Each structure stands twice: as C-alpha cells, then as structure tokens.
Amino acid sequence: LEPPLHAGRQHWLRSLHTVMSWIADLPRLRSSRFDQAVSVGQNLETVNPSSATYRNLLTRLRPGMLLQAYQDVEKKLMAVEQYFTTWMRYQALWDMELDQIYQLLGNDIANWLALLRDISKSRHVVDGTVNTKTFGVFRVNYQEIQKQVNLKYDNTNKCVLIQFRNTLGKEMVAFHRTILSERQQIENSNFDTLESAVVFLVKQPIIKKRMGHFNRLLATFVDGEKALTKERVKLDGQWLTAET
C-alpha cells in the first residue's frame, strides 16, 4: 500500500484546505481601504487580515457542510483500508487445519460440495491479470500476494478433492450395500400367510419414505461424481459409480 494511510490522509486534508483557500484567502475589494488606513495612521500592511479576505465565509456555510467534507475523506480512507485488509485475510489459508475441516464435514456429501463451490468461487476472485488497484493517491499492489494465494488455493483444493473422493467412495459403497439389503428383504418376503402379507403391507409406507431419501442421496452422489470429473480427479478401477 503506497503511500501509508496516515500520509494519504495528510495529502487529502491538505488538498481540501488548498481548495478552500482558493476562495477564503482571496483579498477583498475595498474602495475605501487606502483612505481608512491613512486616517488612522496605519500602513496598508497592518490592516486586519480577517477583514481583508473571505475567510469569514466559512462560518456562514450550511451547517454540516464542512463536516461532511472531512467525513468523505475518512470514508475514502476506510474504503482503502478495507480493500487492503481483504488481501490480508487470506492469511487464514495458511492458519487453517484441514483435518479439523474434514472432521466438521464428516460424511455429509452436500456440505462437501458446498465447500468445493466456495473454494472455486473464492479462487476466481483472486485470479486475474490485474494486480493493482488505485484509490486516488493510494495504490495497492497485490501481485506477489496474489501469486502466493493462488498457489495456496490450488494446493488446498487438491487436498480437499482427494479427501472428498475418499469420503464419497466410502459413502457410495455403504449406500449400495443398504440398497441391496432393502431389495433382498423385499424379494424374500413371504406371502404364504395372512400375517406375513399384513407385515409387508405395513412396511410399504416406510419403504416409500426411505425411497425418497435414497433418491435424494443418489442425486447428491451424482453431483459429487460430476464435481470430481470436472476437476479431473482420477478414480481408481474399483470405483463404484452412482449409476451402478
């Protein structure tokens, strides 16, 4: 950040005072100025400076107008500081522990997909050919930190994708086993007696409800596979696809 914030504040306030002085320090046109000075035995240089310029106009400004000018300077400084701080926040990429994130996500595939989307979105924010931004006198050069952040994002994304692939694979295997078990129970149902038929009919609403859950879970698995394919993550030969 060039120049530092305090130097930029001084520059803008000095510029504001200079602009005000263009009017406030103009000499007043007074036809009797010479006569008044001579009549009281004064030289021209001793005339009251406050009455010789227009500085008193500052006291006649609309209430709050001058304060608003100073507040606008502070708002601009705040915008510069906030933008500069956004780049410093990427320090969190180096501070975070991926193992803790994995534990928080657990086996929830939807949350894993949300994390991957957030990483991709954040990656695009810092990716670009422009590496400087100006705010008037201020210039923020983030070329070096941009390179470091991009490399860190790529490395973090790679680690997360590998862990997601492992988690997704295990969940799909467990899901496949559950589906096979449900199918076998239905196929092995015995309708020889009235009691067995009643038991099967009672289970029907439960089975239908579970089927809705299974369909939603299967759709999530499909989205997970698409995410891995999009990122060109290698799947081993024993990978159990969602369509199996």
To which H or E segment does residue 37 belong? helix 33-39
pLDDT digits (tens, 9 = 90+) for 125-151: 666 656 677 777 777 777 777 778 888
What is the reported pLDDT for 97? 84
pLDDT digits (tens, 9 = 90+) for 144-191: 777 788 888 888 889 999 999 999 989 988 888 888 887 777 667 666
| Structure-model confidence comparison of residues 179 and 123, the more confident one | 179
Q: What percent of the chain has pLDDT over 90?
A: 8
State the average pLDDT over residues 183-203: 69
Q: pTM of the full predicted structure?
A: 0.58
pLDDT digits (tens, 9 = 90+) for 1-22: 567 777 878 888 888 888 888 8
> Helix count (H) and strand count (E) of the chain?
9, 2
- Is residue 25 within 8 A of residue 55, CB to CB? The reply is yes
